[in-house]
């Protein structure tokens, strides 16, 4: 019989790639979707016609229990979150509730539905938590591994650290198969337009097509380890299918600055970035994460996982995709999803 997966965050970037990957592996895939007229659910249904939808919200414990009871999943991937770091300062309590407490609610739903108790066998449902390199924050060492200490720099990072430790705790307390992937930044043509890579690829496409004359950005000196989302969802699946439940760092091991990202994206369209980019102090963060760089050795050795798409290929893919979207007259912030 086909394995059944339940994905929270199905309308987001990673939810879409993970669903496609699991469908290819022969899974029956269910997505948890919230809201009564959520346009992102309609978009998801268009792109992922084979995904079945169950209603629920990470803020609502009862809805998660009902979803797990209805779907009877073999695997739950908890990707749902408020994931945009600046928003976590504006709505810190909501971020704690969704990104942090949402993990507790999902773990409890699984525990209750599988009748798991202390000292028990842990039940049959395997759980994946979308942890983040933002938990490292102000880094104590570079590159970062599974044992690097956490010093989160945003309410988002703090909420993710709670979810991360809770996942470990449910594994240790109840014997549940519960794992966290500590994923570094991963991007794609489906990335939300608020994140810097997509903001840049859309900005370049708009300038190239004469739809804009400048691109306003914040801190150009921040450095990140950027990879392709399609590669990273495969790591999530490998972690969930591994013989033992363990946490893994997932990234490329290479760092680039926002300035280098901008240069690469404008170059991909044959433009000189210095003519168009304007820096804007209001886009700087109250506390910045200056640099993040993964050491993905454990994933390579134990899971056989390696990223396939390079930084330059990723940037070119995103710029090309946005040039095509805008040329076709689509609204990249809304209905379209390449």
The catalytic residues are 132, 134, 156
Interaction between residue 134 and ligand GDR (CB under 6 A): yes
Please state, in angstroms and rounded to a whole number, the distance separating the CA atoms of residues 44 and 8: 13
- The minimum distance between CB 257 and ligand GDR, in angstroms, equals 9
224 interface partner picked from ligand NDP, ligand GDR, none, CB below 5 to 8 A per type: ligand GDR
Minimum distance of ligand NDP from residue 136's CB (angstroms) = 11
Buried b (16+ CB within 10 A) or exposed e, 26-45: ebbbbbbbbeeeeebbebbe
State the helix-helix crossing angle for 196-208 and 258-268, rounded to 10 degrees. Answer: 30
Please identify, using beta-carbon distances, which residue of 175 and 192 lies nearer to ligand NDP: 192
Instruction: Write down the least CB distance from residue 308 to ligand GDR, Å.
Output: 19
Given ligand GDR, ligand NDP, none, residue 98, with its beta carbon under 5 to 8 Å by kind, binds ligand NDP
Cα 187 vs. chain centroid, distance in angstroms? 9
Q: Which residue spans within 65-224 are E strands per DSSP?
A: 75-78, 126-132, 178-183, 186-187, 215-217, 223-224
What 3-state DSSP class applies to 131?
Answer: strand
Closest CA to 224 of 197, 206, 198, 205: 197
- Look up residue 183 and give its two tokens: 């994923």
Window 243-262: residues binding ligand GDR (CB under 6 A): 258
Residue with tokens 């404008």: 266
According to CB under 6 A, which one of 222, 269, 303, 314 is a site residue for ligand GDR? 222
224 contacts ligand GDR (rule: CB under 6 A): yes
H-helix segments, 153-257: 155-174, 196-208, 229-241
Query: What is residue 216's three-state secondary structure?
Result: strand
Q: Which is nearer to ligand NDP, 29 or 207 (CB)?
A: 29
Could you count the other beta carbons within 10 Å of the beta carbon of residue 185? 21
We find the least distance from the C-beta atom of residue 133 to ligand GDR, in angstroms, to be 5
Q: Which is nearer to ligand GDR, 162 or 195 (CB)?
A: 195
Shortest distance, position 61 Cβ to ligand NDP, whole Å? 12
**Dihedral angle sign, alpha carbons of residues 264, 135, 238, 127:** negative
Q: Which is nearer to ligand GDR, 134 or 231 (CB)?
A: 134
* Residue 318 touches ligand GDR, criterion: CB under 6 A: no
Identify the residue among 126, 153, 199, 256 touching ligand GDR (CB under 6 A).
199
Q: Summarize as ranges the residues that interact with ligand NDP (CB under 6 A).
A: 8-15, 34-35, 38, 40, 57-59, 79-83, 98, 130, 132, 183, 185-186, 192
Site for ligand GDR contains 283 (CB under 6 A): yes
What is the residue whose two structure tokens read 């104590």? 140
Residue 25: CB minimum distance to ligand NDP, A: 19
The smaller minimum CB distance to ligand NDP, of residues 41 and 116, is found at 41
């Amino acid at each position: 019989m086909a394995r059944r997966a339940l994905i929270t965050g199905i309308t987001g970037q990673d939810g879409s790639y993970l669903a496609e990957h699991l469908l290819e592996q022969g899974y029956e895939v269910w997505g948890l979707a919230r809201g009564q007229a959520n346009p992102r659910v309609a978009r998801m249904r268009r792109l992922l016609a084979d995904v079945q939808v169950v209603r629920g919200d990470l803020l609502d414990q009862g809805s998660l229990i009902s979803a797990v009871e209805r779907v009877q999943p073999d695997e739950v991937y908890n990707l749902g979150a408020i994931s945009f770091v600046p928003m976590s300062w504006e709505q810190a309590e909501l971020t704690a509730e969704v990104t942090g407490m949402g993990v507790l609610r999902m773990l409890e739903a699984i525990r209750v539905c599988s009748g798991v108790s202390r000292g028990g066998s842990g039940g049959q449902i395997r759980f994946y938590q979308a942890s983040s390199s933002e938990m490292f924050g102000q880094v104590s060492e570079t590159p970062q591994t599974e044992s690097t200490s956490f010093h989160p720099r945003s309410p988002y990072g703090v909420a993710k650290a709670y979810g991360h430790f809770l996942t470990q705790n449910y594994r240790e307390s109840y014997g549940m198969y519960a794992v966290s992937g500590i994923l570094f930044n991963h991007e794609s043509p489906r990335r939300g337009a608020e994140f810097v890579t997509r903001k840049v690829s859309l900005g370049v496409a708009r300038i190239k097509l004469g739809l804009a004359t400048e691109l306003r950005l914040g801190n150009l000196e921040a450095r990140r380890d950027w990879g392709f989302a399609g590669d990273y969802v495969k790591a999530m699946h490998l972690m969930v299918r591994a013989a033992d439940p363990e946490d893994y760092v997932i990234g490329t091991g290479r760092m680039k600055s926002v300035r280098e990202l901008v240069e690469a994206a404008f170059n991909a369209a044959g433009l000189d970035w210095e003519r168009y980019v304007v820096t804007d102090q209001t886009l700087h963060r109250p506390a910045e994460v200056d640099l993040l760089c993964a050491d993905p050795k454990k994933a390579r050795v134990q899971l056989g996982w390696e990223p396939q798409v390079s930084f330059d290929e990723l940037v070119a893919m995103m710029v090309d995709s946005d040039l095509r979207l805008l040329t076709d007259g689509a609204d990249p912030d809304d209905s379209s999803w390449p």
